[in-house]
């Protein structure tokens, strides 16, 4: 283990601070390190591994397509992309889909599309389009996206930043309404904020936002890169309130945990502003990614993983809330996207996830005070019970742990 860590530290850029474990193999919800020790994955690569490791249908799709055709670029048609696009539109309820590779690319695509829509359709004066986003947002790491982040480290010494973005408090529909002007093109929002600490907005928030945007002729664009494709117990997190946005950004789980696959899906009027040459990606929509993405969508529906996430998520949330510990100040989430808030005076989140690592559970800290628990959607009750007992053991290292009434 030490050799691999030392080698990465010697030759890799120091833009990550990984937990001290070298992973070598995965199967289902389990991972093994290079010493053969087993861990329960409670991170799912930030929702990218929602189907678990080595899902046979996804591996079959990957291997069969890789042997036939992988990348040709979008200079030509392929026989794999059209059915993938059709399935994306069917599942999201949108009219058209534009495939990319990473979630951040999906967000950049949405930004470009919203701006052009503002000029072509809404008739905003050229160069004046504004996009409203939220405090605490996380939409990616590109230079444009970090420019409208409220996280100091994401912005520090990476400027100058792109103009045209306005931030409002998350969960406050009145603040959104007050921020809209005739130059507002879109409201870009996560249904649940992941990197901010698994922040769930008040009930009805997204519904109010949709109404406001519709009344004020502003696009509602929902970033479902982390929350989409079953993670929160619905196929899309916006479905919890029956909201149909103007555009949806997908990624992470769309690649089945095997490849980077993302997409921006939107209504005809919105996506219709693009013309050949306006936007593109060498790898976006490649035959291999399309084949795996299509298989991932089929597995999601066929195995009823959204419903499974709702059931298992409610069970996990309930079990975590029965743990009474002076270290834990809050437990929140939806589906299998759960955050445990820790008292920073007693233990830092990084220290706690390192303790979890010793007990065989892989998690990750976020926002300094939160440990996230987001296992693959294929997890079962017995595996969750095993994980909860390991979480209890880790908490006991920082104080007494009691059972709270459910």
Q: Which residues pair with 373 in a beta bridge?
A: 338
> The tokens 């009823």 sit on which residue?
304
Asked if 223 is an active-site residue, the reply is yes
Asked if 138 is an active-site residue, the reply is yes
Tokens of 107: 């967000």
CA distance 390 to 255: 30
Tokens of 331: 């437990």
CA distance 308 to 170: 28
CA distance 106 to 88: 14
Tokens of 237: 């997190």
User: Given CA atoms 390, 300, 204, 198 in this order, what sign does their dihedral have?
Assistant: positive
Kindly state the DSSP code that residue 53 receives in the 8-state scheme: B
Q: DSSP of 330-372, one letter per residue?
A: EEEEETTEEEEEE-TTT--HHHHHHHHHHTTEE-EEETTTEEE
Active-site pick, 41, 84, 116, 138: 138
Q: 351 in the Ramachandran plot: left (φ > 0), alpha (ψ -120 to 50) or beta? A: alpha
CA distance 306 to 301: 8
Tokens of 312: 């298992």
CA distance 66 to 308: 30
Cis ω before 160 (30° cut-off from 0)? yes
CA distance 94 to 224: 14
Active-site pick, 223, 234, 365, 373: 223
Asked if 252 is an active-site residue, the reply is yes
Q: Which residues pair with 365 in a beta bridge?
A: 371
Active-site pick, 252, 274, 283, 352: 252
Please say whether the beta carbons of 21 and 362 come within 8 A: yes
Nearby residues of 4 by Cβ (< 8 Å), 6 or more positions away: 22, 34
Active centre residues (catalytic): 138, 223, 252
């Amino acid at each position: 283990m030490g050799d691999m860590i030392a080698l990465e530290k010697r030759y890799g850029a120091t833009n990550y601070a990984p937990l001290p474990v070298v992973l070598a193999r995965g199967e289902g919800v389990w991972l093994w390190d290079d010493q053969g020790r087993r861990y329960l994955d409670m991170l799912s690569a930030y929702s990218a591994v929602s189907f678990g490791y080595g899902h046979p249908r996804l591996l079959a799709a990957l291997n069969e397509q890789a042997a036939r055709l992988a990348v040709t670029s979008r200079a030509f048609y392929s026989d794999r992309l059209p059915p993938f696009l059709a399935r994306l539109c069917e599942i999201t309820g949108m009219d058209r889909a534009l495939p990319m590779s990473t979630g951040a690319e999906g967000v950049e695509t949405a930004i470009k599309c919203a701006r052009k829509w503002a000029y072509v359709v809404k008739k905003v004066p050229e160069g004046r389009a504004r996009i409203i986003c939220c405090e605490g947002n996380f939409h990616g790491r590109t230079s444009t996206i970090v420019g409208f982040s409220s996280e100091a480290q994401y912005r520090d010494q990476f400027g100058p930043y792109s103009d045209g973005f306005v931030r409002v408090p998350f969960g406050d529909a009145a603040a959104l309404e007050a921020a809209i002007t005739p130059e507002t093109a879109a409201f870009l929002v996560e249904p649940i904020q992941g990197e901010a600490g698994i922040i769930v907005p008040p009930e009805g928030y997204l519904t109010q936002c949709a109404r406001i945007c519709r009344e004020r002729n502003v696009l509602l664009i929902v970033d479902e890169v982390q929350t989409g494709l079953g993670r929160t117990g619905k196929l899309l997190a916006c479905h919890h309130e029956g909201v149909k946005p103007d555009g949806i950004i997908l990624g992470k789980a769309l690649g089945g945990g095997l490849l980077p696959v993302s997409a921006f899906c939107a209504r005809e009027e919105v996506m219709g502003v693009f013309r050949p040459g306006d936007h593109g990606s060498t790898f976006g929509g490649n035959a291999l990614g399309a084949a795996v993405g299509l298989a991932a969508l089929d597995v999601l529906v066929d195995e009823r993983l959204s419903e499974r996430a709702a059931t298992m998520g409610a069970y996990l949330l309930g079990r975590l809330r029965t743990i009474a510990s002076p270290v834990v100040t809050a437990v929140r989430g939806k589906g299998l996207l759960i955050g445990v808030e820790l008292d920073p005076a007693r233990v830092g989140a990084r220290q706690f996830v390192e303790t979890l690592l010793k007990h065989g559970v892989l998690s990750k800290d976020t926002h300094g005070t939160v440990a996230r628990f987001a296992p693959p959607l294929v997890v079962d009750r017995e595996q969750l019970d095993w994980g909860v007992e390991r979480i209890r053991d880790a908490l006991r290292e920082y104080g007494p742990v009691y059972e709270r009434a459910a």
